[in-house]
Structure 1
Amino acid sequence: MFLALREMKHAKLRYGLIGLIMVLIAWLVLFVSGLAAGLASDNAASIKHMNATHLVLQEESDHRLTRSALELSALDEVQQAVGEAESAALGVRMSTLTKEGETKKTDATFFAVDVNGMLAPKIIEGSMITDVTETEVVADASLKEEGFRLGDTIHDQATDLTYTIVGFTEGQSFSHSPVVFMNLKAWEQAQPKHGGADVGPLVQAIAMNTDNDTAAKVSAELEGVEVITKADAMQGIPGYKEEQGSLLMMIVFLFVIAAFVLAVFFYVITIQKMNQFGVLKAIGAKTTYLARNLIGQVLILSLVSLFISIALTYGVAYMLPASMPFDLSPMLTLGCSALFLVVALLGSLLSLYRVAKIDAIEAIGRAA
């Protein structure tokens, strides 16, 4: 490590430029990773944070909640298998809202839940809706950015019904739109009778909090349904899979590019120091000593670059507008940082191989 530090101190500009490249690459990787996580959360936060492990959907709905339609009576059959407290009906409908007295339109998704069940949202402002009223809702706090406040009356353009916002929750979005919660009574009021028969409201899914074996049992015993996990439901949200796939491909390519760039930089530097390495070997320096110094340089540059990149990423994230989805959790930061260190070390393997193959006599002869 002594040799590595002395060399970096002597060639400040050379190693400073390499460090700058590493900072820019790591910064880009962290920013795109945070953007991917933010978009995923904005697209499927309501499903991701749902207090459930599996969802019962209509058969052949392609894992899409909006394509599923189940009679509410199916809930009784599910409850017999998993228990009343561990299952709940879920209605999902996308619509457009307008605030009373205004013409500005806002996309939103209505979720119908049992207000006393496991899917009831956590209230951060105002109060929870009851299971009696048909005109009260709880909305995601992101609607505040559109000018909605407690007590406001909203108009649902799909059903021509109006509701009053009595509370706000947070972290509830579906398909990049805020979620508005209502009770099942209001959900039934908003639905037409199906085929003229009073079969009760149709819901899109039945959420279950259970293990895989029980979920498989429910799938086998109930006709015309399929049981999927929350991860499957997230993948079924329109555009979710394609959006995350594109961003993941970008991140992978960034890591590949980082490996190649670092490999080229360190290899060129190693070639320029062949004579010095030859002299060191001639006076007794072992290959393992030279390799440790090379790895030391890579680790020092990588760690310093990561520290600067993390600071820049969180600094920029702090200045981003609230409307831009960005979520860089500590675990995601640690994961990307560890992977970047691995990539940097892999990029130095070519240089390590070249150092190991140095012939002291030949190198001294070239120097002479």
Structure 2
Amino acid sequence: MNLAWKEMKKNKVRFLILGGIIFLISLLTFMISGLANGLSQDNASLIKDLPSGYFYMDEDAEETFNLSRIDSSVQEKWLDKQKDGVGLSIQMGFLNDENNKQQSVAFVTSTPSTLFPDVQAGEILLDRSMEAKGVKVGDILTNHQFQGEFVVKGFVDQKKFSHAPVAFIHIDNYKEIYRVKEMQLMFFPGMEQAEKKAGLQAFTNKQFLQTIPSYNAEQLSLIMIIWFLVVISGMLFAIFFYMMNVQKLGLFGILKAIGLKTSDLFKMMWTQMLMITVLALGLAVIISQGFNQIAPKGMPFYLTIEHTTLLSIVFILIGFMGATLSGIQIKKVEPLQAIQQGEV
């Protein structure tokens, strides 16, 4: 520990440069991770907030939920059998506000269930983001495919689907708008294993998210960037310590000659890596969490302490691996041979 600290003070510029680079990469990773989580919430918080269970849709829909139609008799049979189950439908649409301005929403309706709000015919519950667009409780909203009017009864927090605010409406109103009689989906919470249901295909919550248009492509691209940055950080550690170790082969030879073990040299390198990484990550965590608190409401940014901690642990492990790989030549160095290279 003492030896590692003395070397860091002697070569402070080198270690500051490495720490600065790790800080910038980790901060960028945290910010992109927050953006990925925020977009995920903005795209599918309606589904992500549901308890674990299984979704069922028509097999003929080929994993496209908005093409799914579940026969009413089949739905009734399974919902009678499993009382906590719910039939639901989700469809993109539009509402006209009192200024006749069109607002994009995701209409959601369901059979009676504690998982979704109870909405009466002619009423509508909206995601709270609609308040920012000037919609208020008591406003009258219309839809070109609906003969009646919707009265805004209230707002719900964090209910989005496909980047659109959710609008909960009564099942009869939904059927009138979309000219359908059947529901698209059934959801059964708490099921540990999917039951086979003839003509229906089962999906876990995570699998169902992949059926949402753009969700998989959006998340995959951001996750790839995150892991690419993590790998880059590991390579930086490997390159940095490799170059440092090459320059210090003679010093390592002297230290080995006076009795210092190879394991002690590795511990010195690991201590330096840990000190740099912890300091850089600590600063990056403070800034990213601060931004999480002050991010504009309309910006899809969501970064939890748990997710930040997980990424920090990954950074430390990658740094440990990179530093360890760079130290292979420490194990191979022979004291006499290293001293003869003339490096002090």
Residue 205 of structure 1: how far off its partner (Å): 0.9
- The secondary structure found in structure 1 opposite 2:212 is coil
User: In the aligned structure 2, how far is the partner of 1:314 from the partner of 1:265?
Assistant: 29
Query: How far does the alpha carbon of each residue in 1:255-291 deviate from its partner, in whole angstroms, 9 at most, with x for none?
Result: 2211212211111111122222222112111111111
User: In the aligned structure 1, how far is the partner of 2:287 from the partner of 2:253?
Assistant: 40
Residue 27 of structure 1: how far off its partner (Å): 0.9
In the other structure, the counterpart of 1:177 is 164
Query: How far does the alpha carbon of each residue in 1:70-117 deviate from its partner, in whole angstroms, 9 at most, with x for none?
Result: 2433321112432x2x111112121122211242x3211010123x41
Q: What value does the CA root-mean-square deviation take over the aligned residues?
A: 1.9
Give 2:326's aligned amino acid. Answer: S
Question: In the alignment, which of 110, 117, 137 is matched to residue 113 of structure 1?
Answer: 110
In the other structure, the counterpart of 1:197 is none
Distance change >3 Å, CA 160–CA 272, structure 1 → 2: farther
Query: How far does the alpha carbon of each residue in 1:218-259 deviate from its partner, in whole angstroms, 9 at most, with x for none?
Result: x1xx4x322222222111000111111111211121122112
User: In the aligned structure 2, how far is the partner of 1:147 from the partner of 1:338?
Assistant: 43
Comparing 69-78 with 258-267, which one deviates more in the overlay? 69-78
In the other structure, the counterpart of 1:198 is none
In the other structure, the counterpart of 2:92 is 94
User: How high is the TM-score relative to the length of structure 1?
Assistant: 0.87
In the other structure, the counterpart of 1:22 is 22
Identity across matched positions, percent: 29
User: How high is the TM-score relative to the length of structure 2?
Assistant: 0.93
In the other structure, the counterpart of 1:168 is 155
Residue 158 of structure 1: how far off its partner (Å): 4.5
User: In the aligned structure 1, how far is the partner of 2:273 from the partner of 2:205?
Assistant: 41
Q: Does 1:59 align with 2:76?
A: no
In the other structure, the counterpart of 2:184 is 204
Residue 344 of structure 1: how far off its partner (Å): 0.4
In the other structure, the counterpart of 1:137 is 124
Give 2:87's aligned amino acid. Answer: A
- The secondary structure found in structure 1 opposite 2:61 is coil
Give 2:127's aligned amino acid. Answer: D
User: In the aligned structure 1, how far is the partner of 2:159 from the partner of 2:132?
Assistant: 14
User: In the aligned structure 1, how far is the partner of 2:253 from the partner of 2:186?
Assistant: 71
2:122–2:173 contact (8 Å) kept in structure 1: yes
- The secondary structure found in structure 1 opposite 2:107 is strand
Where does structure 1 differ by over 4 angstroms across 4 or more consecutive aligned residues? Answer: none
Question: How many residues of Structure 1 are paired with residues of Structure 2 in the alignment?
Answer: 343
Query: How far does the alpha carbon of each residue in 1:107-129 deviate from its partner, in whole angstroms, 9 at most, with x for none?
Result: 11010123x413224xxxxxx63
User: In the aligned structure 2, how far is the partner of 1:262 from the partner of 1:173?
Assistant: 41
Residue 161 of structure 1: how far off its partner (Å): 4.5
Q: Kindly report which structure 2 residues correspond to 1:231-242, keeping only aligned pairs within 5 A, or say none.
A: 231-242=206-217
- The secondary structure found in structure 1 opposite 2:340 is helix
- The secondary structure found in structure 1 opposite 2:29 is helix
User: In the aligned structure 1, how far is the partner of 2:9 from the partner of 2:333?
Assistant: 24
User: In the aligned structure 1, how far is the partner of 2:145 from the partner of 2:313?
Assistant: 49
In the other structure, the counterpart of 1:2 is 2
- The secondary structure found in structure 2 opposite 1:323 is coil
